[in-house]
Structures are given as C-alpha cells and as structure tokens.
Amino acid sequence: MGQELQEAAGRLGLDAEKIARARECARRIAAPIHEYISIHTTISIERSTLRALGADGASGDGVPVPNLAVDSVKGELGKGAARYYVGALVETGWTVEEMNLKLASGYELSRAGVVDKAGVERKAGELTRAYCKRVKDNLAFRAKKISERSERENSPLLYVIVATGNVYEDAKQARAAALQEADVIAVIRSTAQSLLDYVPYGPTTEGFGGTYATQENFRVMRQALDEAGDEIGKYVRLVNYCSGLCMPEIAVMASLERLDMVLNDAMYGVLFRDINVYRTFVDQHFARMVNALSGEVINTGEDNYLTTSDALEAAHVVLASQFINERLALDAGLDHSLIGLGHAYEINPEIENSLLYELAQAQMARDIFPKSPLKYMPPTKHMTGDVFRGLVMNSMFNLVSKISGQSIHLLGMLTEAVHTPSMQDRFLAIDNARLVMKAASSLGDEIEYKKDGVIAKRAALVLDMAAEFLERVAESGLFAAIEEGLFADVKRKPDGGKGLEGVIEKADDYWNPIQDALESELFQADGKGGD
Amino acid sequence: MLIRPYGDRLNDGAVQLSFTLPLDASGKAVEVAREYVLRLGFESCEVAHASPLMEGFTMFVAYGWTNVSIDPDEVEMDPGLYERSMDFHEVNAFIKEKIERKLVVVGACTGFDAHTVGIDAIMNMKGYDRHYGLERYPMIEAHNLGAQVPNRELLNKAVELGADAVLVSQTVTQKDAHLVNLRDFQEEIEKMGLKGRFILLLGGPRITHKIALEMGFDAGFGKGCLPETAASFIAQRLYERKE
C-alpha cells in the first residue's frame, strides 16, 4: 500500500495523504452498504444463480426459463431458488436440458422442502463445478490469446460501438471495425432494456437505438470477433452492458460466452435509470463477483455525470465516484487490473485552456489509480453536428488520452449528435486516433508538469474538492447523499425507483451454491480482492 | 435572385462530398465514384481522395460543381421560432409584465426513451453552454420528470401541478419509435379531455417544427434550441392566448 501511494502521488505531485484519506472515506461509505447487501438477495440474483446452474430457454410466448422457474417459487426466495431447481432435478432425474424444456412448457418447481438433501448438494456441486470450469476455461483462453497476440494491440485500446439493432448487422460492422484496427467492440443495447426485469431469449434482429443483450447475441458476436481476430492475428475484445434490472444475469451470460469487458457501474442505474437504490447495490455486488471470476474488466460510468452536470464544476464528483466504484469493486473481489474506472472529455471547448483542464483530469485519474485500466470517454455534449469541428475535438481528446496514458479509449465519432455511426465515421475515428497517438507516442514520457502550473493546480483542486465531497457523503451516508442530489444533480429516494419489490431478505437457511463458490474462489483462495 | 453554392467565386457551385461505395479500392472504383457524382447532377467532379475501409468498401472525398440554382424567395419556412427568441432576462421581464404570474412548465423524456440529455439541457438549472435552464428562471416553475415517463403519468403530473406548458423530449427516432409514442400521447390527451389545455412543445435532435405540428404539438424544436428559445415560445404563445 505504501508503494502504491508513492506512485499515486505520481506525475502531478498530488497530496498522497489526501488520496489515502479519500480512500478511507470510500471505505466508510461502502461499509454500511455491505451490511445491507449481505442479508439480501434479489429475484435477478436468483435467476442468475439458476442460469449458472444451467437454466436457459424460453416458453412459447417468450418468457425466459429462469423467470418461469423463479416465479414458480416466489414467496420462498428468501431460502434461495437453487434448492428448488436442483431439488426438482434430483427428484425427477431429468437432465438440465430436459428440465429447461419442461419448465418452458409449463412445469412448475415444487415448493415442498427438499427430501434428499445430500443428493441435492451433490448435484449442485456438480453443476457449480461445471459452471466454474467453463468460466475459468474462458478466462484461460482469453489470457493465452492476449499474451500471444498483444503486439497488434493499440495503446490505449481503441474501443468502438456498434448499434444497428440487428445482431447479424452488428457482427458485420464489428468485423469491419476489427479489420480497421479497433481493439474493443461494444454492442449498444436496445433502448430501455435496462428496465426489463428479464433477459430476452435467442438471436434478435429488431432493436431501438441498439441491439438486445441476449445470450445468443453474445455468442454470435463472440464468434464473429474470434474469426476476425484469427484473420488479423489479434484478440478482439467484446463488451456489453452489465447494468439495469438484470445486471447479475447479464454477468452470468457474459461469463458463459466469454465477454471481455462489461459496463458495470455501482450507481448508474440509480441515477440515470431510476432503478431502486437497494436493488442496485445488492445486484451490483453479485454481478461484480461474477465479473471477477470471469476476469472481465468492468467499465464504470462516471462519464454519465457530465451529461447532466457541467464538466468543470462536477469534476470532483467524477473523482469521488471513482473512489466509491473502486471500493465497491474491490469488495466484490475485483482486482485493480479489472477495475476500468470511467471519465470523459466533456469540458466546453470554448473555455480557455479547456485542453489543459482535460489533461489535468485525465492525468490525475492516472496518478491516483495507477493500476486501473482507465476508460476514457469522448466528447459528446459539445458536439454540434459540425463534423469538421467534431473531428478537431476528437483529435484533442485522442492527444490527451495518449499523453496521460489511458487504457481503454472510446473513440469519438465526428457525426456524434447527427446519426449512429456509419462505416466511414468509424474508419475516420480509428484513423484519427492512430495518427495522433503515433505522432505523440512518447510525448507523455517527455512531459514534466510545471509545479504550481495550471494543470497541477487544477488537479490538486479537484482532488481537494473530491476529498471534501467524500467526507460529506461518509458523514451523511451514500443513500442520503443520493437523495440530496449530490451525484449528477439527480435526486433519488431510497424506497423509490424501479425494482424494489424484487429485493428479498435472506432467510437463516438461505442457500446459494453459486454465490458460495464465488465467495470461496474470490475471497478465500489467495486473499485476492483486498488491497 | 438565383444562387448556387459558393466555393471561391460567386455561383461557382462547388460542393464537398464524402461517401462510401461497396467496392474494393482501385482505379476503377475512383472512376465509378466520379461517374456517380456526375449522375447526382453535377457538371464536373474531382475525386480528391479514396480510402479503403475494408475489403469491399471504399470511402471517397470528392468535389462536384453544379449548375443547379435556387431562388431563396420560393422557399417557405415556418415563422421563425428561433428569430423570435428573447434572452433570459427578456423572457423573465416579459412574463412578469405581460402575464403577471409564474409559468408552470412540466417536461419529460417519454415512452421508452432514456436519453435525457436534451430535456436536461433545456430544463436543468445549469442549462447548456452557459445558457441557464428553465429551473433557473425566476418567473418559471419548472419540473423535469426525467426519462422513460409514461405519457399518462406526464399528463397527470401536468394537471396536478397546473402546468401551462408540457415539454416532450424524444431522442430515439430509429424506426419511427417516437411517432408511435407521440400518437399515444395525443390519444391520452383526448381520453383525458385535456385537448387545448396546455401549450405542447416537442423537442429532440431530429425533431422539426413540421413534425411537431403534424403530431398535434404547438411547436417543435430541434438542434440549436436553447432554453430561452423554448421559454420565449411558451411566454409569447401564452400571452397571445390571453389576448
């Protein structure tokens, strides 16, 4: 820890003690939340558990099997749905596949207690080990490919988005982007999927503003990117959204289909989708444990604050949220190397020295979170439709990202605020980034920031304000702070928002073999997860 | 008076174009691009640049020169919503003097649309690009209900708060999702017997005044709309109604 602080003081000469105090506040903020998390489950966690155990498929009218299974034992969920699902498998002697078909055509799980307890535990152990093996095999496959093929990767990784609504079109566009040297492809979700309390089943070709996240769609994209990667000798990373009411389920699906990154923010759903606070915090913890086991990099969503708040005025809230996201992620077993904290280039470009302020923010994040694969988001708010100016803004963004050593770089599109990116827009974005980053390849190493200069002073100020802000939140508690609108100027009541009815207090005999396995893998194996 | 695009001489008709053709990059592809520009009606064309995007696709930057002219006087446009806009101080003074009470404005991003960036820019305290949002107007009581608000809920809230104006924001217009939602909005208004009760404003990056009128709104605002543009319209329309 001592050494980390030294590094953290970093290139801008930030006050290491202040950084440590901010981390301590984040710890104080997280502690009471964990008390709540540990004694609750949610319907989405229960569905995720069944998914990990093998539940899949959907009924004729499209209700997913995990929903059917969990809904059939509603009222008993405090004990965990796994005992009923596995209990039925043992009782009937059906395979998981047979059980899925039966459930899809109307079979209901029995609410009666488990008879053969030893048999159920044995079966659950078998299914849990199979799940963990598949996830670890995926992790090993990824690690091997990346280590063999890292030469072609850009630094930072260039991240682009596809959003056609049709998974087969997405696959084509993603392939094109990969061939043009993009490293990371994210599929935007259909608008409002975050508010569905189920995950649609099968491949989909109709979406609004994006494509539904389904396990089959994940598989289609994975295959397309693996093929494109083999062609060009690179491992192309796949991203989707682990957010909304089905956060834990998406995490399990992502772990099965070898997604490499997921957007997963502890507070995004609360602030920007009006999902209930309790639901969100319980869900994010389970989801992040799954992400941790899978070795998926999470991307947090601090960039979103700047769409509702002013980027200069709210800079410290972005930093404060990074501290909180980091703490909650560590607590869920994620290693620093998997915590892709987010931030964005959103200061009004008309402000004098805006580029310096952006550099201050980006370098500050790098200095304070030296091991985090920071995710840097492009200008969107001040993109006007003037594509020529847009290209200039993106170039400035690219330059700041390279100088400050960001890790994951979401490419700005010159047609932002006009239309979803066309093929040539993506090409121009990649071309721009590669040109700027090549031209400025070693610039970051050459720069020593002037002591008491505009950049160092700005970063120090933001850190000061963030530390103060975190003190306030630690005093009042995170829920109260959210209620007051301290984050992103959005106010949420603890018992308001969507999905609270899906939060269930755990009974004394709550049983969840997947959660048990996650916890033993993440927290007992090698002491990973703490810092 | 007839006019044409201006490059570096009056009426030289120079137009900059950029587009992609589903062809491998080659000398032939450049010729195809040039011929295509001519078929668009240009008199001459120069393909300045061709970039291969991937196999089977090439992007071109081209310049075309056209003889097509236009008489600006033959083009009609809706009376300038934007030209009639007052600034922050003028709007507040106007309301205070002419309407003599605070205006109540309720806004939301409705239906499945989750993109609040537009409604926030217009309504939130901070506004956009240093133009204060309606919440900061001393003569306006503004309520931003946020994203994915069902139409009925928005209207109920507008009734409850005694709104003068309702702002509907729609960002996602892919596959005309917004039109379905807007029709539903009008149906709800009919059902609830609220026709004519509020001044209705529609906003979004791809919204035009024309679309808004077709969908039963009083005005539509697209790109370039600032908080004061919307505030001016509401104040002026309310004053006209009062007259």
The pLDDT tens digits of the residues spanning B178-198 come to 889 999 999 999 999 999 999
Collect all residues with Cβ–Cβ distance below 8 Å to A466 and sequence separation of at least 6: A22, A316, A317, A319, A320, A323
- pLDDT bucket at A3, cuts 50 / 70 / 90: very low
- pLDDT bucket at B81, cuts 50 / 70 / 90: low
Best B18, B55, B58, B59 member to test A by mutation, with max A CBs in 10 Å, is: B59
Query: Does A343 score more than 50 pLDDT?
Result: yes
Query: Does A346 score more than 50 pLDDT?
Result: yes
Query: Does A280 score more than 70 pLDDT?
Result: yes
CA dist., res. A427 & res. A321, Å (int): 33
For the ranges A201-210, A285-294, A339-348, A367-376, the lowest mean pLDDT is seen at: A201-210
pLDDT of residue B114: 73
CA dist., res. A244 & res. A250, Å (int): 9
A272–B contact, CB cutoff 8 A: yes
Q: Are B54 and A309 in contact (CB < 8 Å)?
A: no
The answer to whether A502 touches A43, Cβ cutoff 8 Å, is: yes
Best A310, A383, A415, A432 member to test B by mutation, with max B CBs in 10 Å, is: A310
Average pLDDT, chain B: 91
Query: Does B69 score more than 90 pLDDT?
Result: yes
Sheet holding B103-109, edge to edge: B140-144, B103-109, B165-169, B199-203, B219-221
pLDDT of residue B222: 87
Angle of CA points A35, A500, A529, to nearest 5°: 35
pLDDT of residue A387: 94
- pLDDT bucket at B22, cuts 50 / 70 / 90: very high
Chain segment B219-231, per-residue pLDDT in tens: 999 877 889 999 9
Query: Does B25 score more than 70 pLDDT?
Result: yes
Q: What is the DSSP letter of A500?
A: G
Chain segment A140-152, per-residue pLDDT in tens: 999 999 999 998 9
Query: Does A128 score more than 60 pLDDT?
Result: yes
Range A394-403 average pLDDT: 98
pLDDT of residue A377: 97
pLDDT of residue A6: 47
**Separation in Å, CA of B161 to nearest CA in chain A:** 19
Q: Which two tokens stand for residue A343?
A: 């931030």
Range A85-108 average pLDDT: 96
Query: Does A183 score more than 80 pLDDT?
Result: yes
| E strand or H helix that includes residue A69 | helix A65-72
Collect all residues with Cβ–Cβ distance below 8 Å to A199 and sequence separation of at least 6: A64, A66, A213, A214, A215, A246, A249, A250, A253
The answer to whether B169 touches A204, Cβ cutoff 8 Å, is: no
Strand partners, B140: B103
Note which residues in 300-339 of chain A have CB less than 8 A from chain B: 307-310, 313
Catalytic residue among A198, A201, A268, A376: A268
pLDDT of residue A7: 47
Reference A47, options A60, A61, A34, A64; nearest CA is: A64
The answer to whether A513 touches A82, Cβ cutoff 8 Å, is: yes
For CA atoms A61, A64, A66, A70, the dihedral sign is negative
Average pLDDT, chain A: 93
Catalytic residue among B28, B126, B191, B195: B126
Range A249-253 average pLDDT: 98
**Regarding beta strands A297-299 and A261-263, do their DSSP bridges make them parallel or antiparallel, or are they unpaired?**
parallel
How many Cα atoms within 13 Å fall on the side-chain side of residue A217? 33
Chain segment A445-504, per-residue pLDDT in tens: 999 999 999 999 999 999 999 999 999 999 999 999 999 888 877 788 899 888 999 999
**Separation in Å, CA of A332 to nearest CA in chain B:** 28
The amino acid at B89: H
Range A370-385 average pLDDT: 93
Of B59, B112, B120, the CB nearest to A192: B112
Chain segment A194-228, per-residue pLDDT in tens: 888 999 999 999 887 789 999 999 999 999 999 99
| DSSP assignment of B61-96 | EEEEE----B-GGG------TTTT---HHHHHHHII
pLDDT of residue A531: 45
Residue numbers in A near B120 (CB within 8 A): 307-308
Angle of CA points A169, A416, A441, to nearest 5°: 95
pLDDT of residue A525: 57
Reference B121, options B139, B102, B142; nearest CA is: B142
B28–A contact, CB cutoff 8 A: no
- pLDDT bucket at A4, cuts 50 / 70 / 90: very low
The answer to whether A226 touches A173, Cβ cutoff 8 Å, is: no
Residue numbers in A near B17 (CB within 8 A): none
Query: Does A530 score more than 50 pLDDT?
Result: no
Residue A373: is the preceding peptide bond cis (ω within 30°)?
A: no
Range A398-416 average pLDDT: 96
| E strand or H helix that includes residue A505 | strand A503-505
B138–A contact, CB cutoff 8 A: no
Query: Does B127 score more than 80 pLDDT?
Result: no
Range A323-330 average pLDDT: 97
B102 is catalytic: no
CA dist., res. A141 & res. A137, Å (int): 6
The amino acid at A231: E
Q: What is the DSSP letter of B99?
A: I
**Regarding beta strands A503-505 and A408-410, do their DSSP bridges make them parallel or antiparallel, or are they unpaired?**
unpaired
Collect all residues with Cβ–Cβ distance below 8 Å to A457 and sequence separation of at least 6: none
- pLDDT bucket at A5, cuts 50 / 70 / 90: very low
pLDDT of residue B78: 62
pLDDT of residue A2: 43
